[in-house]
Amino acid sequence: MKERFLFFTAGLLILTMGVALIIKSNLGASAWDALAVGESQMFNLTVGTFVFINGIVLIFLNAFLMKKKPEVLAAISILIIGALIDFWLLIIFKDLSPATLAGQSFVLLFGIMAMGVGVAIYLQAKFPASPMDTLMVAIHTRFGLNLRNSRIISESFALLLAFLFRGAIGVGTIVVTLTLGLVVQFFYPRFEKMLEKMQAPKKPIITE
């Protein structure tokens, strides 16, 4: 259990650092993060606050679609994610503002790498997934669509909301959408093996 908690904590730290870097690149963020940025600018609250608010709304929407009780642990996870995003944006990367396209591109790509690695690590804990990811499963379960089409619908829904709230949509949004899954796919089995080794029972030392 302690290994899973370690992976969960480390994964969220790295994941949220990646989210913050992508936002700081000013080239566009992933759909749900772009929405939170737009809401933050419109209502003058932090990005992390709206990540949490949007997550809570989705927890109840997902529960309605799947005809289940809302996941309390998912609410705790999204609260931590929102707080960590604000930590990176407002404290660690407060003065980060790349002035050139090359600098912006580097920050974007580094952010995508960090976000993908973070996702690959935190998923190993097998704790409730973020409400944004669960929406895809909820659509799949309720309407009988395949996961690919359910993902397209959930991301399109987020992009529409981000557009309405004048969120951080740009070329970076497309790059994140096309590459993040590849990064997660590459690193997930490697961290899976690492966790298995950490959880494997240690052989007793036999002394004569």
- Better-predicted residue by pLDDT, 191 or 110: 110
Q: What is the pLDDT of residues 95-137, one digit of tens each?
A: 999 999 999 999 999 999 999 999 888 888 777 777 887 888 7
Which DSSP string do the residues of 81-116 spell out, in sequence order?
HHHHHHHIIIIITTT----SHHHHHHHHHHHHHHHH
Q: What is the pTM of this model?
A: 0.87
